[in-house]
Amino acid sequence: MKRVSGRWIKTIALVSMLMFLASSERITAQDMGACYMVTTSGRAISLGKLCGVTPSDKGVFRIPIKRRMGKTPIVDVTFNGNKTFEMIVDTGASITLITSNMANTLKLKPTGTMQAEIADGSQVKFPISQVNSIAVGGAVVNNVEVAIAPKAGIGLLGHNFFDNYDVKILGNVIEFSQR
């Protein structure tokens, strides 16, 4: 009887350890946030470009970084629910700035002008317009004023989009957490 109960204890201990390891893997997967796969060698590979964005927790949106310009992240941004453009996430920009090509694609007409101070300290005037919505993953802001930069090659996602979010730029994703 002692020998049989010893085997049961070892079996229970092994099952408990396997359950712990299995739950540890689940926790790790949730912490990664973005879509990924694990190779046969156990290495995790991000599939964020294939999977898009998945909210990790309520009010937290993880957006895959498509690429970087220098060290600045570039993400896909959807306007008015149907037009997607690559944009720089610019934590120093107070307003979202779009290119002339973007404005033409969205069929925007200027509704006024604004004066802004740019990175070198000089003042520049931009035409402004309004879009129905801007969405990055599950984060959506409606009725957003945008500046149109005639000479810009890429747009800037500014504070008027992510003002109600805490922004955390990680290695391959950006987290927007609702405040």
DSSP symbol at 57: S
Bin 121: left if φ > 0, else alpha if -120 < ψ < 50, else beta: left
User: Which of helix, strand or coil describes residue 158?
Assistant: coil
Residues pairing with 126 in the sheet: 114
For residue 106, report the phi and psi dihedrals to the nearest 5 degrees: -85, 0
Q: At residue 91, what is the residue type? A: T
- Which two tokens mark 100? 């002339």
Q: What share of the chain is helix, strand, coil (3-state, %, to 5)?
A: 25, 45, 30
Predicted TM-score of the model (pTM): 0.66
Q: Is the pLDDT of residue 24 over 50?
A: no
- The CATH architecture assigned to 49-178 reads Beta Barrel (2.40)
When pLDDT is cut at 50, 70 and 90, the band that residue 117 belongs to is confident
Query: What ranges do the domains of the chain cover?
Result: 2-32, 49-178
CA distance 127 to 109: 9
When pLDDT is cut at 50, 70 and 90, the band that residue 28 belongs to is very low
Beta strands in 80-138 (DSSP E): 83-89, 96-99, 112-117, 123-136
Mean pLDDT within 69-88 = 93
The pLDDT, as a whole number, for residue 168 is 93
User: Which of helix, strand or coil describes residue 172?
Assistant: coil
